[in-house]
């Protein structure tokens, strides 16, 4: 006779059951009891409440409201599970019942692991770059958390919609600099990163014949990314940038040089990290950005010759003040070399330790994150100095094409789309310009 066994609340707030029901008798006439797992998922808006209530119940700290929430959900779920088991048994004993053909189903986590191993990152420039794969691994943690119990073949539009509803209420991960868990939920931009990753995974399922079509083609995250025309990059103001340079005067020379280059030419932190002395021509004041120095957990720091795009490789001119600081840093390194003696490592790196070994790719970001918190300035990432440089140049009326070449953009489209806000629209004298151009000029005879 059909019955169920309750197995508790799962990680995603679902009530888990095992269904037991009698199937057709075996050829020898013996009983044939079938078993099947079954889950009842809560409404997306109630999932987080049920998960938290279950955690508190296990810890013995749940209040009456939370216990009541769990009791109601479990009672409703049990009724659905009992009904499902009874219907399964009823269908099987129907004279017109047709035994379904066994399908070789694949768990989602097995499919996503295969995608990561063979497919992820193959459509991007610089195929399957370590940092790209590492980012996919990060995204997969949450995606696998939600779809971990699912069969790939059963993922449909409804399930993807449930995932996006769940994703919208997930909290940001705590950084190593934060003492408490963040209260903010994932940004719209982050949700779209997950969407693109899931889209690729399910597209691979279609290619493997696991799905007839990709449900992500018809579903989007609940909160889309902000309109790129209105989204402002996180940049410092001119006054804040001046304050940063002032405070940097008290810092070690390596830090001063790094920040000077970042603010002055808007280079990416990984490009500055990768600089070697042959890349710098002190006579022409040109710096050749031709590689990056990156870090991936488990792999460490490594040099990447292929840049983001062909325009990222560029030579830019820096100020005489920056060259002066670089020459000071070179002299400081030569002094370190004499002190280190036979222990010296000739890495040729501009940013090296006392032994000449190139500093790790996380060096600048780590000290910046600590240092900026000791000031009264807004806390922003090191990469925001690049945004600051571009925004200040745009606001000062610099040629957008020259700015694009300076920072390694392919064209001016990104400059205008992302940094156009830096232009003070209220102070633009467009009316006066057109008025002067269209004003009727007096004839020479009249002027006389």
Q: What is the CATH number of the domain that holds 173?
A: 1.10.150
Least trusted range by pLDDT, from 96-105, 223-232, 345-354, 436-445: 223-232
Signed CA dihedral, 383, 384, 387, 393: sign only: negative
Least trusted range by pLDDT, from 52-66, 99-113, 174-188, 204-218: 174-188
Model pLDDT, residue 432: 58
Domain-located, residue 14: yes
- Compute and round to an integer the Cα radius of gyration of the chain: 31
Q: Which of the listed residues 36, 60, 92 is the one where a domain comes to its end?
A: 92
Instruction: State the average pLDDT over residues 340-362.
Output: 93
Domain-located, residue 322: yes
Instruction: State the average pLDDT over residues 34-50.
Output: 86
Judgement on whether residues 251 and 380 belong to the same structural domain of the protein: yes
Domain-located, residue 182: yes
pTM of the model: 0.62
Residue 38 pLDDT exceeds 80: yes
106-120 exposure pattern, b = at least 16 Cβ within 10 A, e = fewer: eebbebbebbbeebb
Judgement on whether residues 130 and 48 belong to the same structural domain of the protein: no
Judgement on whether residues 361 and 403 belong to the same structural domain of the protein: yes
What confidence category does residue 295 fall into, taking pLDDT thresholds of 50, 70 and 90? confident
Interval 190-222: pLDDT, tens = 899 999 999 999 999 999 999 999 999 988 887
Q: What is the mean pLDDT of the chain?
A: 84
Domain membership of residue 170 as a residue range: 108-217
Tell me how long the chain is. 448
408 SS3 class: coil
Q: How far apart are CA 325 and CA 439, in angstroms?
A: 52
- Report the share of the chain in percent with pLDDT over 90: 47
Interval 73-128: pLDDT, tens = 999 999 999 999 888 888 887 877 766 655 578 899 999 999 999 888 776 555 67
Domain-located, residue 147: yes
Model pLDDT, residue 200: 93
Judgement on whether residues 309 and 351 belong to the same structural domain of the protein: yes
Domain-located, residue 97: no
Interval 4-31: pLDDT, tens = 999 999 878 899 998 888 877 766 767 6
Which residues, including other chains, have CB under 8 Å from residue 437's CB and lie 6 or more apart? none
Strand stretches in 216-313, DSSP E: 280-281, 286-289, 292-296, 300-304
Whether 414 and 407 have beta carbons less than 8 Å apart is answered as: no
| CA angle centred on 19, ends 17 and 22, rounded to 5° | 170
Judgement on whether residues 368 and 419 belong to the same structural domain of the protein: yes
Residue 422 pLDDT exceeds 50: yes
Judgement on whether residues 253 and 209 belong to the same structural domain of the protein: no
Domain-located, residue 376: yes
Q: CA torsion, points 198, 204, 206, 211, in degrees to nearest 10?
A: -50
Judgement on whether residues 267 and 378 belong to the same structural domain of the protein: yes
Number of domains present in the structure of the chain: 3
Judgement on whether residues 259 and 402 belong to the same structural domain of the protein: yes
Element (H, E) at 324: helix 320-340
- Report the share of the chain in percent with pLDDT over 70: 82
Domain-located, residue 229: no
CA distances 26 to 34, 89, 117, 284, 439, Å, are 12, 15, 43, 89, 99
Interval 409-421: pLDDT, tens = 766 666 666 666 5
Domain-located, residue 222: no
Judgement on whether residues 294 and 414 belong to the same structural domain of the protein: yes
Which residues, including other chains, have CB under 8 Å from residue 372's CB and lie 6 or more apart? 379, 380
The CATH number given to whatever domain includes residue 345 is 1.10.443.10
Whether 71 and 6 have beta carbons less than 8 Å apart is answered as: no
Q: How far apart are CA 120 and CA 129, in angstroms?
A: 10
Tokens of 20: 């037991």
Model pLDDT, residue 296: 83
Model pLDDT, residue 374: 93
Q: How far apart are CA 301 and CA 360, in angstroms?
A: 6
Tokens of 27: 């050829």
Residue 403 pLDDT exceeds 50: yes
Q: How far apart are CA 384 and CA 419, in angstroms?
A: 12
Model pLDDT, residue 126: 52
Model pLDDT, residue 247: 94
Element (H, E) at 294: strand 292-296
Judgement on whether residues 370 and 259 belong to the same structural domain of the protein: yes
Judgement on whether residues 88 and 112 belong to the same structural domain of the protein: no
Judgement on whether residues 291 and 419 belong to the same structural domain of the protein: yes
């Amino acid at each position: 006779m059909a019955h169920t066994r309750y197995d508790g609340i799962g990680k995603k707030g679902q009530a888990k059951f095992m269904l037991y029901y009698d199937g057709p008798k075996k050829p020898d006439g013996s009983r044939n009891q079938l078993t099947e797992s079954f889950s009842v998922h809560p409404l997306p808006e109630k999932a987080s409440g049920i998960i938290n209530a279950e955690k508190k119940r296990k810890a013995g700290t749940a209040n009456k409201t939370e216990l009541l929430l769990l009791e109601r959900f479990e009672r409703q779920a049990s009724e659905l599970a009992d009904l499902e088991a009874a219907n399964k048994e009823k269908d099987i004993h129907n004279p017109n019942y047709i035994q379904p053909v066994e399908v070789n189903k694949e768990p989602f986590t097995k499919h996503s692991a295969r995608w990561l191993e063979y497919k992820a990152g193959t459509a991007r420039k610089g195929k399957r770059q370590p940092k790209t794969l590492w980012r996919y691994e990060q995204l997969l943690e949450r995606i696998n958390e939600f779809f971990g119990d699912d069969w790939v073949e059963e993922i449909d539009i409804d399930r993807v919609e449930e995932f996006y509803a769940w994703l919208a209420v997930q909290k940001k991960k705590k950084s190593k600099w934060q003492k408490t868990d963040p209260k903010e939920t994932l940004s719209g931009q982050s949700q779209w990163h997950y969407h693109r990753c899931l889209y690729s995974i399910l597209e691979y399922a279609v290619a493997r014949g696991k799905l007839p079509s990709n449900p992500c083609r018809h579903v989007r995250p609940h909160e889309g990314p902000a309109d790129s025309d209105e989204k402002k990059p996180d940049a410092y103001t001119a006054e804040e940038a001046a304050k940063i340079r002032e405070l940097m005067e008290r810092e070690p020379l390596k830090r001063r040089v790094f920040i000077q280059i970042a603010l002055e030419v808007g280079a990416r932190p990984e490009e500055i990290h990768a600089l070697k002395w042959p890349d710098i021509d002190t006579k022409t004041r040109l710096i050749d950005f031709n590689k990056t120095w990156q870090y991936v957990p488990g792999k460490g720091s490594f040099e990447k010759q292929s840049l983001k795009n062909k325009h990222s490789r560029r030579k830019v001119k820096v100020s005489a003040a920056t060259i002066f600081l670089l020459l000071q840093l070179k002299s400081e390194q030569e002094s370190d070399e004499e002190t280190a003696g036979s222990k010296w490592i000739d890495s040729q790196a501009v940013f090296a330790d006392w032994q000449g070994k190139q500093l790790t790719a996380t060096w600048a970001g780590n000290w910046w994150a600590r240092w900026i918190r000791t000031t009264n300035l807004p806390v922003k990432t090191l990469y925001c100095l690049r945004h600051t440089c571009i925004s200040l140049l745009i606001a000062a009326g610099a040629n957008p094409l020259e700015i694009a070449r300076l920072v390694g953009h392919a064209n001016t489209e990104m400059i205008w789309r992302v940094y156009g806000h830096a232009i003070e629209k209220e102070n633009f004298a467009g009316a006066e310009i057109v008025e002067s151009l269209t004003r009727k000029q007096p004839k020479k005879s009249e002027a006389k």
